[in-house]
């Protein structure tokens, strides 16, 4: 059908075509549309003149502003560094005690530590640093490698069983798997270990057997009194804090299969200033937060 009609409602003519009952009005394109086309095109033109935009054969139009995203990013990174420069160098140079003494620096530590901790350490140690099975609680006084400023800084810097050349190395031997101890012996010594922190009260025979086994096999690392040895990262077995757990099963597994905790080295990934912020967070801020 090809009869032009007039739409009674709008007064516009139709194009005269009809498809399955559908017709089209021949309404002119509203002026607002032409304006919008004009404005967006002018805007695009201005952007093209100002910014890198059109490809040429071997290069591209650089734009009057002469900007490039790589340089922009470099610039922003440097600006950020300049902004932090006032405290970063000071922190890196000072000892932890010196930092503790200077309120301005401690303010920086307080402000930036939670995020640094949350983004780097919380995945293993938890937001509050209390750890979980396999990951030690860092807010207590039971340190594997010592709780002095230097020891903590060093633990963070080189990691434990990590890839750093100076990494701390520690291992709980797999006494069962290596056939050093039988399963019964392990049960005995496990019971003895539990008795040290009052978790279990085995009968005297078993305890004596366990104690003998312990004195022969374990004291070299865990110490005569089983209170651990920071030099080899062996934990204190007489306190209430456990890395892997104090249940029969967990202790049996620790002794039978051995343990080899892994903590990444942070040197190269965190700056010296950041390392100090975290150490202070661990030593001063987190324990108070509990």
Q: Report the distance separating Cα 254 and Cα 260, nearest Å.
A: 10
CB of 238 to other proteins, least distance (A): 35
Residue of 290, 283, 280 whose CA lies nearest to 110 = 280
CB of 215 to ligand HEC, least distance (A): 9
Q: Where are the alpha helices (H) located in 102-247, listed in sequence order?
A: 103-120, 122-125, 149-158, 183-196, 204-217, 219-222
224 binds ligand HEC (CB under 6 A): no
Residue 193 contact among ligand HEC, other proteins, none, beta carbon within 5 to 8 Å by kind: ligand HEC
Residue 93 corresponds to which tokens in the numbers above? 């140079």
Residue of 253, 191, 249, 193 whose CA lies nearest to 221 = 193
137 Cβ contact list (under 8 Å, min separation 6): 129, 130, 131, 241
Residue 286 contact among other proteins, ligand HEC, none, beta carbon within 5 to 8 Å by kind: none
Applying CB under 6 A, which part among 75-83, 105-113, 196-204, 248-256 lies near ligand HEC?
Answer: 248-256
Which residue carries 């399963």 as its tokens? 183
- Comparison of 88 and 171: residue with beta carbon closer to ligand HEC: 171
Applying CB under 6 A, which part among 13-21, 23-31, 53-61, 226-234 lies near ligand HEC?
Answer: 226-234
CB of 128 to other proteins, least distance (A): 12
- Residue 243: how many other CB atoms lie within 10 Å: 20
- Comparison of 172 and 277: residue with beta carbon closer to other proteins: 277
Residue of 161, 166, 177 whose CA lies nearest to 233 = 161
- Comparison of 13 and 183: residue with beta carbon closer to other proteins: 13
Q: Which chain residues interact with ligand HEC by CB under 6 A? A: 120-121, 123-125, 135-136, 138, 143-145, 152, 155-156, 160, 170-173, 175, 189, 193, 214, 217-218, 220-222, 232-235, 237, 242-245, 251, 254-255, 259-264, 266, 278, 282
């Amino acid at each position: 059908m090809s009869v032009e009609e007039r739409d009674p409602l709008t007064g516009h003519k139709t194009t005269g075509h009809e498809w399955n009952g559908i017709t089209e009005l021949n309404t002119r394109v509203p002026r607002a549309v032409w304006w919008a086309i004009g404005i967006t095109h002018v805007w695009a033109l201005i952007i093209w003149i100002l910014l890198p935009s059109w490809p040429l054969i071997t290069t591209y139009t650089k734009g009057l502003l002469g900007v490039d995203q790589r340089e922009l990013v470099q610039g922003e990174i440097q600006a950020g560094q300049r902004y932090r420069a006032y405290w970063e160098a000071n922190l890196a140079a000072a000892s932890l005690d010196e930092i503790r003494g200077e309120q301005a620096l401690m303010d920086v530590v307080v402000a930036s530590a939670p995020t640094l901790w949350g983004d780097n350490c919380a995945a293993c140690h938890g937001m509050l640093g209390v750890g979980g099975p396999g990951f030690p609680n860092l807010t207590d006084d039971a340190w594997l490698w010592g709780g002095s400023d230097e020891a903590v800084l060093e633990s963070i810097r080189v990691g434990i069983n990590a890839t750093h050349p100076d990494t701390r190395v520690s291992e709980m031997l797999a006494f069962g798997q290596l056939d050093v101890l039988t399963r019964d012996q392990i049960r005995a010594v496990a019971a003895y270990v539990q008795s040290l922190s009052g978790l279990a009260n085995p009968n005297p025979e078993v305890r004596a057997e366990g104690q003998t086994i312990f004195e022969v096999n374990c004291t070299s690392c865990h110490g005569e009194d089983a209170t651990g040895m920071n030099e080899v990262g062996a934990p204190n077995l007489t306190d209430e804090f456990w890395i892997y757990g104090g249940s029969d099963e967990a202790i049996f597994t620790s002794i039978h299969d051995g343990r080899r905790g892994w903590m990444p080295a942070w040197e190269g990934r965190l700056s010296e200033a950041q390392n100090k912020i975290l150490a202070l967070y661990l030593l001063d801020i987190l324990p108070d937060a509990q």
